[in-house]
Amino acid sequence: MSVLTFISRDFVYIDDACEAFIDTELNLKKEDYMIVSIKNKSSFLSITTATITLIAIGYYFAETEWKVVEFLRFCVGIILLWMPLGALFYLLLKRQVQEPIVRFTFSAIASYSLTTFIYFALAVFHLELLFYIGIIAIFLGLIIYLIRKKFWLNIQINYLSWRQFDWVLALLITVSLVVNIPYQRTWEYNPTTNTYKSPLDVDYHYFISLAYELARHVPPLQQFNRAGIPDAPYHMFPHLTTVLLSRFTGQTDLLRVQIIYHNIIIAIGMCLALYSIVKILTSSKVAGYLATATMYITAISYPPLMATEFEFGYFTLFPHVSSGIEPAILISPQMYSGILVAYGILLGVLLISVRCYRKQPVDVVLIITAIMVVATSRFRIHVFLPMLPGFLLLAAYGWKRTSQRVYLVAAGLAVALSLLIYLEMKSPIYLSGTASLSLGLNSLSNPQEWPYRYINEWPFSTKIHDLLSGLIRNSTVLKWVWQILSICTHVALSMIGIPLLIITSIYLFCQPARQEFFLFRSLIVWMTVVSTLGATCLKLSDYNDFPLVGELLLLIRWYPFLLMIPGLYQVYQFLQPHISLTRPTQISLVVAFVVIDLAAQQLTRPSILMTSLYSEAATVSANERMALTYIHDNTPQNSVTLTDKYLKDRNFVLTSITGRATYLQKDYDDISELILKKFPSENREQVIKDLWVTSQSEEFCRLLIATPATHLIEYSTHPLLVNEPACIQAIWESSNQSIPVSSEKVTIWKINR
């Protein structure tokens, strides 16, 4: 009986063991099946995303008229220009920034900023050759380093797999480039009228002309539209970057370099910076993706909520387009470039903030960030003015918290380099009196002056101004009270917008913003507040106030914009316990939001600003464009043109197409008045008028030889009266040059001295 019991018990044990073994095997097979299934789904999604990305890239390059050789030269050029410094930063930051995409983004933007900065510093001392020697030296050093470290042997095969690539981020960036195509049209040909129309703002041609002047000499020796007269120390680093891009890619048309090449770099950099910042703030890739989409893809042009005569900076609920993206892209490439540098600095400050909170070493990222802060003085002074004191306060706090002397070193370096930049701006090669700031009441909120009236276009502004006028009798006090009230209200309603103001406020009081992100949060608030105060009480000595203090306001929106998605993410986390959404549902909602916004964006285009710029766009005949292109391609870079056509027409196409300085071209009224004040004997407009009304060869040659001009452009619509004087000879004329033949004949004369 006992034997049978033992035998039966053993069979039970064996049976249980077999069942357990079978269950284990089944579970393992089930897990293997699930893993294979997930991998298959992941591969399918990766293939789909990669395919859409490649199609979008192909569409973008086709629409922007790229050639294969041009694309290859572009890729090689940007690698040669920015890879040496970027790769060096990437290696140096290895211990302090672990996440590759964040380290790559910060290194790339730092290289973008500091490569131009270093070139400019060397060019001031006529040591440009050292710049190219330095690039070669860094390249060789990196190659030797990789060989000694046997870098290629340490690369894991998984990292080379295309599945490891972030195709979602690549797709978002590519679609961002695609939606930017309407901003990248340079010329449109009308076969009916045989004319070319430039849909760009007049300021773009102005800035391209500045870039051509820098291509001739750094720093600039003259104004491009008043050859021989000193220029002001403007924001030359964005234009100098365009020049360097031109040299390294071999593209001589700086208009295409700026509109296509340079703007591609900025757009990609902006997407990567926003993704990196938001991903660090939220620890969520999905939030980073959503933030990337909000930069361009979901940028809807909302209409003004009250009647206005202005195309941008008007009152609407979410003014990202009207007070953010479009003014930067369409009006000011300096601002667009400066924002990218500012976002790179803010990414650096975010990395510093996290490491400062944890009391970790921060030396490399801190020093790089400090130099980038100084570079903003010539990328965009509107960023530099609030950024430098904010960075110094940040460094003081970091030193007090961590006792690391590197914070003091970084602060001292920033101050020393800033003083050197300031001394360079006061150099006698520049137009005197154009780099002087003072404190006082500017005219920014004057209700009677244009373009300042747009500052006052917010709800009930007229009634409130009338009420204050009745309560405050002292005119000076009234002006100050109204200045502060109007600018602050304009910033809150028309620059930031009510929704973003609420979302930002929510984020500022969340726990992470008060702990590890404290320095980053504080700098965002500082930049917003100090920019507003600067617009209230800063003024220029010789220019009107708008170029500096007015454009301070246009940058304010960009700072709290970084906190929009983190703020929404905090709201989502608060509501998450009360709502049950699966991950597929969350992803579906995000995708639906992006697709709906993208569709709405396309339906709302063109915006008010784009429509206005197109209606005022410069138009040139086919003959004139060929003539100006001939000058660009066949005359020395230091040539100076002279014509009477653009004395009254301020569009700057003459200098942006020819790439040459001109004797006189109509400029902004305030600049013209300043030049006449400083050079009263330089009545160039009268000289040109005399040239076109005289019929005496001797008088004509006497006037012409006294100018610095080397080439004269004559149009049949307003011809010269003189008959073949000895001091000029025709080198090109447009007879039968264009098909269909243009009614306007253009002749280029070379001046014989």
- The pLDDT, as a whole number, for residue 26 is 43
Q: Which two tokens stand for residue 266?
A: 């900025």
Q: Report yes or no: 327 and 613 within 8 Å, Cβ to Cβ.
A: no
Q: Is pLDDT above 90 for 92?
A: yes
- Looking at residue 610, its pLDDT comes to 92
> Per-residue pLDDT tens for 184-193?
998 999 888 8
The C-alpha atoms of residue 585 and residue 213 are separated, in whole angstroms, by 55
538 vs 498, more confident: 498
**366 Cβ contact list (under 8 Å, min separation 6):** 348, 352, 395, 398, 406, 407, 410
Is the sign of the CA dihedral 555, 419, 89, 245 positive or negative?
A: positive
Q: Does domain 200-231+617-751 have CATH number 3.40.50?
A: yes
Q: Side-chain half-sphere of 736: how many Cα atoms within 13 Å?
A: 0
Nearest CA to 264 out of 117, 115, 71 is that of 71
Distance from C-alpha of 391 to C-alpha of 526, rounded to nearest angstrom: 10
Name the 3-class secondary structure at 641.
strand
Cβ contacts of 458 within 8 Å, gap of 6 or more: 306, 315, 486, 489, 490, 493, 494
- How high is the pLDDT of residue 152? 56
For residue 405, pLDDT beyond 80:
yes
- Residue 223 exposed, middle or buried by CB count within 10 Å (0-12, 13-18, 19+): buried
- Average pLDDT over every residue of 662-687: 81
- Rounded to whole angstroms, the Cα distance separating 223 from 232 reads 8
Lowest-pLDDT range of 19-23, 102-106, 289-293, 571-575: 19-23
User: Which of 18-27, 88-97, 160-169, 582-591 shows the lowest mean pLDDT across its residues?
Assistant: 18-27
Q: What is the mean pLDDT of the chain?
A: 87
Neighbour tally for 59: CB within 10 Å: 14
DSSP secondary structure letter of residue 163: G
**Which range among 293-302, 319-328, 596-605, 631-640 shows the weakest confidence by mean pLDDT?**
596-605
| pLDDT value of position 157 | 46
pLDDT-derived band of residue 443, with 50, 70 and 90 as boundaries? confident
CA distance 243 to 218: 11
CB atoms within 10 A of CB 184: 21
Question: In terms of pTM, does the model score above 0.75?
Answer: yes
Output the pLDDT for position 544: 60
pLDDT at 91: 94
Closest CA to 93 of 109, 77, 79: 109
For residue range 35-53, list pLDDT tens digits in order. Answer: 444 455 557 777 888 899 9
Predicted confidence (pLDDT) at residue 677 exceeds the cutoff of 90: no
- Domain boundaries, given as residue ranges, for the chain: 64-126+166-185+236-300+310-612, 200-231+617-751
Q: Give percent above pLDDT 70 in the chain.
A: 89
Between 4 and 241, where is the model more confident? 241
For residue 146, the model assigns a pLDDT of 83
Mean pLDDT of the region 680-691: 89
Q: What is the pLDDT of residues 137-173, one digit of tens each?
A: 999 998 888 888 766 555 554 444 555 688 899 999 9
Determine the Cα–Cα distance for residues 188 and 128; give it in Å rounded to an integer. Answer: 37
pLDDT of residue 163: 58
Residue 609 confidence (pLDDT): 92
Q: How confident is the model at residue 591 (pLDDT cuts 50, 70, 90)?
A: confident
